[in-house]
């Protein structure tokens, strides 16, 4: 599962320019992909989900992230996963 999540995450990073939910800026967290308008790396949400935590638990710990941002990130990640698993 972690290998799949890592592959989706790296593919998602490659698509960042199309997505306003996530921002990559060398001036913010040394270019680590973060939720737009925050300094919260998107990887933290992935780690929460991998660790068996819920979205609500993540949102409680990171109140600067809106539910809409988190859901949009998860939906985009899911779409990229489905696309990456399709036969060529």
pLDDT at 7: 64
> What is the count of structural domains for the chain?
1
pLDDT at 14: 61
CATH number (domain holding residue 24): 1.10.10.10
pLDDT at 63: 96
Walking along the chain (88 residues) 10 residues at a time, the average pLDDT comes out as 63 60 92 94 95 97 96 87 78
Does residue 11 sit within a domain?
yes
Our CA dihedral for 26, 29, 33, 39, rounded to 10 degrees, sits at: -130
CA distance linking residue 8 with residue 2, whole number of Å: 10
């Amino acid at each position: 599962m972690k290998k799949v999540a890592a592959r989706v995450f790296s593919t998602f990073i490659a698509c960042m320019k199309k997505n306003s939910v996530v921002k990559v800026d060398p001036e913010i967290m040394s270019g680590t992909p973060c939720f737009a308008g925050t300094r919260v790396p998107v990887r933290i949400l992935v780690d929460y989900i991998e660790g068996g935590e819920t979205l609500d638990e993540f949102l409680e710990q990171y109140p600067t992230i809106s539910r809409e941002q988190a859901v949009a990130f998860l939906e985009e990640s899911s779409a990229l996963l489905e696309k990456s698993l399709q036969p060529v």
